[in-house]
Amino acid sequence: MQQYRLMKILNMIDNNSIVADIGTDHGLIPIFLSEKKISKKIIASDISQKSLYKLIEKLNSSYLLDNIETRVSDGLSEYKPFEMDTIVISGMGGLLIIDILKKDLNIAKSANNLILQANNSLYELRRFLHENGFKIIEEDDLFENDKYYQIIKTEVGLEKYEHKYEYEFGKFLIEKKSKSLYEQLNRLIEINQNLIKDLKAIKNPNLNNRILELEEEILYYSEVRDLIEN
């Protein structure tokens, strides 16, 4: 994870909170939270002791990071309800994040906030959150190494969106006219346009249905883009 995406995640974390970083790996988020004195306590967990090795090495060499606790945990399985204010899950697929939350939903709902950065399946993730008693209170996005990312912050509450595109692309991001989302929509349109051009060049009637699907997607992406433009 590069520093720009890291800072976007950190900016969503409330000061003086107790944070659980799930799937911490090298512990970049806990280290930054500790060094910047954002959180009073951070629990950094991963699925095995081996996964935590580099972070533990870092902690052993610095007394300044004494508010970081390491923990072997498969998702939220080794946490207790109300143990932390904020749960951070980042750098994973959306379906894996759903699985982690679903297995220990009572623990997830005991936190004040979830901060989720899924690498894909954002439509499914937002639907899951709404269907399980979370509402989305903040969103941010960015490009990093030419890849588009979104970050979602939630709290417990009831909420439902009216439109598919709000689940897929983010109601907050559309309403605040995100430049990164606008660029991502342009990229998706261009990808489909190039695919249509390639498929038409093959001149195979069996591909006509696929071409129509791609054209419908272009129309869909264009309509969402228009919401940002206007």
Coil, strand or helix at 177: coil
- Cα separation, 47 vs 25, whole angstroms: 9
Evaluate if residue 1 carries a pLDDT over 70.
no
Residues 6+ apart with CB under 8 A from 218: 189, 192, 193
Q: What is the pLDDT of residue 129?
A: 99
**Residue ranges of the domains in the chain?**
3-162, 180-229
Q: What is the pLDDT of residue 25?
A: 83
CB of 23 within 8 A of CB of 46? yes
Average pLDDT over residues 191-207: 96
Q: What is the pLDDT of residue 2?
A: 72
Evaluate if residue 64 carries a pLDDT over 80.
no
Evaluate if residue 10 carries a pLDDT over 70.
yes
Average pLDDT over residues 144-169: 98
Q: Report pTM.
A: 0.94
Token look-up 């994973």 returns 92
Residue 164: other Cβ atoms inside 10 A = 12
pLDDT tier, 3 (very low <50, low <70, confident <90, very high otherwise): confident
Average pLDDT, the chain: 96
Beta bridge partners of 69: 43
Q: What is the pLDDT of residue 58?
A: 84
Pairing of strands 134-144, 113-118: unpaired
Angle, to 10 degrees, between the axis of helix 53-60 and the axis of helix 28-35?
A: 30
Q: What is the pLDDT of residue 53?
A: 86
DSSP state of 230: -
| Each residue's pLDDT tens digit, 13-31 | 999 999 999 999 889 999 9
- Cα separation, 45 vs 84, whole angstroms: 13
Average pLDDT over residues 82-102: 98
CB of 87 within 8 A of CB of 117? no
Residue closest to 71 by CA, chosen among 41, 94, 92, 114: 41
| Each residue's pLDDT tens digit, 98-146 | 999 999 999 999 999 999 999 999 999 999 999 999 999 999 999 999 9
CB of 88 within 8 A of CB of 74? no
Q: Tokens for 182?
A: 């606008």
Please state the length of the chain. 230
Least confident of 41-45, 61-65, 108-112, 160-164: 61-65
Average pLDDT over residues 57-69: 84
Does the domain at 3-162 match CATH 3.40.50.150? Answer given as yes
